Amino acid sequence: MQDRPQAAPTARATWLLFAAIFAAVYFSSLFTPPLMDDVDASHAQAAQHILDSGNWITCQINGIRYIEKPPLPYWLVAVSYRVFGQNTFATHLPNALAMLGLAWLCWVWARRAWGPRAGLYAGLGVLTSIGPFLFTRFIIPESILSLFLLIALYGLITGLELNRPNRFYWMWAGVALALLTKGLIAPVFFAGAAIPYLFLTGQWRRWRALKPVSGFLLFLLIAAPWHILCGLANPDQGHAVGNHPTIGNVHGFFYFYFVNEHFLRFFSLRYPYDYNKLPFAAYWLLHLVWLFPWSLFLPALLAVAWKTRRHWLEHLRSDS
C-alpha cells in the first residue's frame, strides 16, 4: 500500500501557527527583562535623545555625540517611544517586528521556490531558532539589517526571474535602508551574495536591466541625506591620536565615520580599540548554536545535497 501524499499546509493554517509562535516567543518577551547595561541602555538613550531633543541628525548618549553608527535603528525606536511611551516594550518592538517580517519573507520566498511545506519550515526556522531570539533581547540592528538585505536579494532574484524591472528598485532601496541600519558593511554583504549569484547563473549579462542609473539615484536619495547632514552638523567630530590632538578637527565626521569606524575597524586599527573579535573558526561554528534546533538537520541537508548534486548542478547551468 502506498503512502498517501501529505496535504500541503494552507496559508491560513501556516500563519495561525506563525502568529501563535510569535506571540508566545517574541511578543510576550517584549515586556521583560528591563534594559540591560552597556549596549542596550546606551542605544535606548540615543533614541530617547532623538525624541526629547527633536534632533534626528546627531544622536547623543549621556550628552556625548554618538554618530559612530547609522541612525535608522534609533529612529525606529524613537518612533516607537512616540507611540507607546518610553518603556521596555517600545524599545524592543522594532526588532520583534523585523523578525515577523523576516518570517513572512522567508515564507513567501520558500513557498514560491519549493511549495507550501517549504514555506512553513522556512518561517518556523526564523521564529524558533535560538540565535535570533537571543540577539533581539537588546538593541542591536541585525534583525532589521537582515530584513532589508533579504528584501534587496528577493527584489534582485524575482526581478530577473519574472522579468519585472520594478523589482530592482526594491533591491536598491533595500540596500540603502540596510546601509542606514548598519553602515558600509551592508552593501558589502549584499554584493557578497548577489555577485556570485549573477556570475554562476550567467545573469550578469543582463546588468543593464538592474536599473544601474535610476536605481543608484534612488539609493543615494535614501542613503545620502543623513550622511551629508551629519557631516555638516559635526565638522569637528574626531579624536586625538598620539601627539596630534587636533587630528579629529582636521579630518572631521567623514574621516571619523567612514575611515575610522568602518575601514580601520575592519583591520583592527580603529581608535580607540575598545572592542573584541571572535576567532574566525569560533564565529562560524557558533552558527550551529544560533541556528539550533534546525542546525541538527545540517548533516541530512549535506547528504541530500550530495545525492542530488547532478540535478541542482544541471538546473544551475540551465539558468546560465
Q: Is 287 contained in some domain?
A: yes
Nearest to 134 by CA among 296, 298, 275, 291: 291
Cβ–Cβ < 8 Å for 80, 46: no
In terms of residue numbers, what domain contains 286?
A: 279-320
Cβ–Cβ < 8 Å for 252, 238: yes
Predicted local distance difference test score (pLDDT) of residue 99: 96
Assess contact for 42 and 61: CB atoms under 8 A. yes
**pLDDT for the residue 319:** 55
**Which distant-in-sequence residues (6+ apart) come within 8 Å of 116 by Cβ?**
8, 9, 10, 11, 14
Q: Note the pLDDT of residue 78.
A: 97
135 SS3 class: coil
Do 211 and 219 meet the contact criterion of CB atoms below 8 Å apart? no
- Round to whole Å and give the CA distance between 71 and 74: 5
Distance CA 125, CA 132 (A): 10
Number of domains in the chain: 1
User: Residue 153, class by beta-carbon neighbours within 10 Å (0-12 exposed, 13-18 middle, 19+ buried)?
Assistant: buried
C-alpha separations of 136 from 3, 53, 57, 107, 253 in Å:
42, 26, 25, 20, 29
Residue 22 lies in a domain: no
pLDDT of residue 138: 84
CA 281 from centroid of its chain's CA atoms: 22
Q: Give domain status of residue 239, yes or no.
A: no
Report if residue 310 sits inside a domain: yes
The predicted structure's pLDDT at residue 277? 77
Tally of CB atoms within 10 A around 291: 17
Residue 284 lies in a domain: yes
Q: Is residue 91 part of a domain?
A: no
pLDDT of residue 265: 83
pLDDT, position 238: 53
Cβ(160)–Cβ(203) below 8 Å: yes
Locus of grid cell 547563473: 201
* SS3 category, 217: helix
Asked whether residue 289 is domain-assigned, the answer is: yes
- 312 inside domain: yes
pLDDT, position 313 = 65
* pLDDT tens-place values along the chain, 320 residues long: 445 556 778 999 999 999 999 999 999 889 887 887 778 889 999 999 999 999 999 999 988 899 989 999 999 999 999 999 999 999 999 999 999 999 999 999 999 988 999 999 999 999 999 999 998 988 889 999 999 999 999 999 999 999 999 999 999 999 999 999 999 999 999 999 999 999 988 899 999 999 999 999 999 999 999 999 999 998 876 544 444 444 444 568 888 888 888 888 888 888 877 777 788 898 889 999 999 999 999 999 899 888 887 877 666 666 55
Residue 128's nearest CA partner among 39, 203, 24 is 24
> 65: part of which helix (H) or strand (E)?
strand 64-65
Are 141 and 182 spatial neighbours (Cβ–Cβ below 8 Å)?
A: yes
